[in-house]
Structure 1
Amino acid sequence: MECRLPSDIYLLLKSSDFVTHDLEHAYDDCVEDVSPDDDTPKQIADIPYHLVLRKFFQMNPSVEFRCFVRNRKLIALCQRDLNHFDFLFRMQDKLRHVIHNFFDDRLKHTFPDDNFVFDVYVPPPHDRVWLIDVNPWAVRTDPLLFSWLELLTLPEPPEEKVIRIPIRPANGTAESEEQSAAQSTDAREGEVSEGRTDMEDSDEEEADEEIWVPEFRLIRKDDPEAYSFNTPQYSAHKLPRDVVDASQGGPGALREFADNWKEMLAKQQQEDAEYESSEGD
């Protein structure tokens, strides 16, 4: 939502149940972290809150994605907008690659938590990733096209193998070089008969081994989620709670709310006019 005036911000804060939840239940599902220098845990009242504003720009919701990180490994990603976009399937591998590279470069070793969820935006030409938001690894974060059971049980990428290569000192003697060459020749002669078999086994293992990539889910054309003619997601949070309650009470309740709103607005305008008049005097 674009906010141009302070009143826009107040309306947004009043409209959002998420803001209220974040203020009152920000530390749900958390474990007390007692630092070595301080045996007394911090009280919620001692922790300051901040209102962070982001620069507004028009976003194309089709290229916004939610990414799930477990044990500092990107295990899954999916669309944020639950509608079918055919062009995404042609770009799926490219998007996965660029998002994965962004995670490895920017978040994998810098974010303080091992488990978290982050949202990214990949606008055309789809070669640069923008970080939009970071969410907790918790049930209250919407898993969208996954379930939390899936996210807890999805396989992780295998550990990277480390290959150690011995380096011969630069001041090695000629005698040691001759001995090394002789040993190398003997070893090659002894392994000629087994070399071909080992290479064949290695090739078969590489063919059987699949390259691991994170699970990337998109809305398919025949998916029921693609025909979302029902209420848009989180639509109730885009209006003040009073308006939502009045709309559920029928036409009479909504009309009464509108009349009360007009009276309140007129009263506020009158008070503002009187205040400006007194300031002028």
Structure 2
Amino acid sequence: MPDNKKEKIKKPEMIAHTYAEDLAEEIKKEQGGAYRVALEEEKRKEEDKKEFSPLSKQNLLFSFSSLFLLLLAAGLIFFVFWQGNGRVAPPPVVSGTPEALLPSVINEVFLGTATKEKIDNAIKSELAKEGEPDKVSSFYFTEEKNILEQGGGEAIKIPLDIRRLIFILEIRAPELLLKSLSEEFMLGIYNNELFLILKIEAFNNAFRGMREWEQTMPLDLASLLNIDLSKISREIAVFEDTLVKNQDARLLENEAGETILIYGLKGEKFIVITGAREVLFEIINRLQ
């Protein structure tokens, strides 16, 4: 017979989960996730280091390109410096040759840097040249202008216009006269006498301006027209109306009756100033 002793039946133990245990489990899970995130972050940093490393292909290419550009720039700077200092500068090129206002032999007088002293000396040199009788010769001044700052590679010679000449010689011509004149003018020699031709743009203002200029004209034009100021005893120049072979003119004489300065007009286009009656008449007649 079966043993009457009751065997104790062991029931499986139930696992009891407390709130504390559940919380600890969740923390472990969170820590594991954080650890994975940290690993991924470290991995990304390592990849970035490789990508931006000075030894990376992209950075090496960029470095070589930068070095090449620097060397190229240095070479260009050296070349420009050598070109400017190691070679002989070419002669200046004339920029525009002014046309003579009447037929004549034309000479260029290069001044370099234009000054009053250089112009005075140049006029004396031209006057000392032996010219043919009854032949008109003329000359014009040029000065050097550097155009390197404008992108060019050479200096050019610029002809002096009448306003530039007046400025350099400190001529006190009235503003009314200056505004009525063209930039064109002519300085010439006839039978060893200097003459100046001014081209008119506004006749009425030019005539009035000349009358205003008379008081200082002899002193202003002394070097330009080789006027002997020692022959003038009066402080204020007094011009008078006169006729030169039926040609109206304004004349300045000294007390001995010698002609110091005389000027006349060719129609409404030109003013001729000189120191001799016969020269005034001849030049006016030759003007077209």
Shared topology, TM-score over 0.5? no
CA radius of gyration, larger in: 2
- TM-score band by shorter chain is under 0.3
**TM-score, normalising length from structure 2?**
0.18
- The structure in which a higher percent of residues are helix is 1
TM-score normalised by length of structure 1: 0.19
Which one has the bigger strand percentage? 2
